[in-house]
Structure 1
Amino acid sequence: MNSRRDARNSRVALFDGIEEGGIRASSLYSSYNEIDEQDNERAMGGLQDRVSLLKRISSDIHEEVDSHNRMLDRMGNDMDSSRGVLSGTMDKFKMVFEKKSSRRTFSLIASFVVLFLIIYYLTR
C-alpha cells in the first residue's frame, strides 16, 4: 500500500509541477508579450520618424524641382526675347548693307571692328 501511496504522491507532485510550470509559462509568455509589444512600439516609433523624414525630403525635392522648372522657363523666355532682338539687329544690318552708300557701310564696319577689338582687349 505504501507503493500505491508513493505512486499517487509522485503523480500529484508530477501534475502539481506541470500546473505550476503552466502558470509560470503563462506568466513568462505574458512578460514576453509585453517585451514584444514594447519592441514593436519602439520599432513603430522609429518607422514613423523615418517616414516623416522621407516625407520632408520628398517635399524639399519637390520644391527644388519646381524652382528649377520656373528658372528654366524664365531662361527659355529670355532666350526667346534675345533671339528676337538678335534677329531684329540682323535685319537692320541687312538693310544697311543693301544700301549703295559704300562710305557709310565702310565706316560702320570699321567702327564695329574697332569696338570689338577694344572689348576683346579689355576682357582679356
Structure 2
Amino acid sequence: MNSRRDRNNRAALFDGIEEGGIRSSSSYSHEIDEQENDRAIDGLQDRVAILKRLSGDINEEVETHNRMLDRMGNDMDTSRGVLSGTMDKFKMVFEKKSSRSMFTLVASFVVIFLLIYYLTR
C-alpha cells in the first residue's frame, strides 16, 4: 500500500518533468525503467525490513546478555564480600590465639608423648 503511494508520487514528479519539455526518447523504455525502479525499490524495502527485524533481535539479545552479566557481577560482588568477611574472621582467630593455641597444642603433645613413653616402658 505504501509502495503504491510512492509510485503515485513518482508518477506525479515525472509528469511534471515531462510537461516542462524533458521527455524520454520512447514511452516504452520509460515504462520499463519505471518497472525496474519499482522492483528495485520493493526489493530494498524488503531488505530494510529484514535488517530492521535483525537489528531489533540483536538489540534484544544484547540487552538480555547485559542483564545476565549484571546479575552475575552482583552475585560475584556478594560472594566476594562474604569470602572477604570469612577471611577477616580467620585472620583475627589466627593472629590472636595462634601463639597461645600453638603453645597449648605443643605442650599437650609433649605431655601425651611422655605419658605414653613411661606407660610403655
Query: TM-score interval w.r.t. the shorter chain?
Result: 0.5 to 0.7
Q: TM-score, normalised by structure 1?
A: 0.59
Q: Structure 1: which 5+ residue stretches go unaligned?
A: 1-14, 98-103, 114-124
Q: What's the CA shift string for 1:14-73, capped at 9, x where partnerless?
A: x99721211221122012101110111011101111121122112211211211111011
Q: What letter corresponds to residue 57 of structure 1 in structure 2? A: H
Q: Unaligned 5+ residue runs, structure 2?
A: 1-22, 114-121
Match of 1:83 among 73, 82, 91: 91
TM superposition outliers: structure 1 runs of 4+ over 6 Å: none
CA radius of gyration, larger in: 1
CA RMSD of aligned residues (A): 3.0
The normalised TM-score by structure 2 is 0.61
Per the TM alignment, residue 78 of structure 1 is displaced from its structure 2 partner at its CA by: 0.4
Match for 1:22 among 10, 27, 30? 30
Once residues 71 and 111 of structure 2 are traced to their aligned partners in structure 1, the CA distance between those partners, rounded to angstroms, is 49
Equivalent pairs, count: 91
Q: Secondary structure at the match of 2:79?
A: helix
Shift of 1:107: 4.9
Matches within 5 A, 1:92-107: 92-93=100-101, 107=107
Within 2, Cα distance between the matches of 1:21 and 1:105? 105
1:53 aligns with 2:75: no
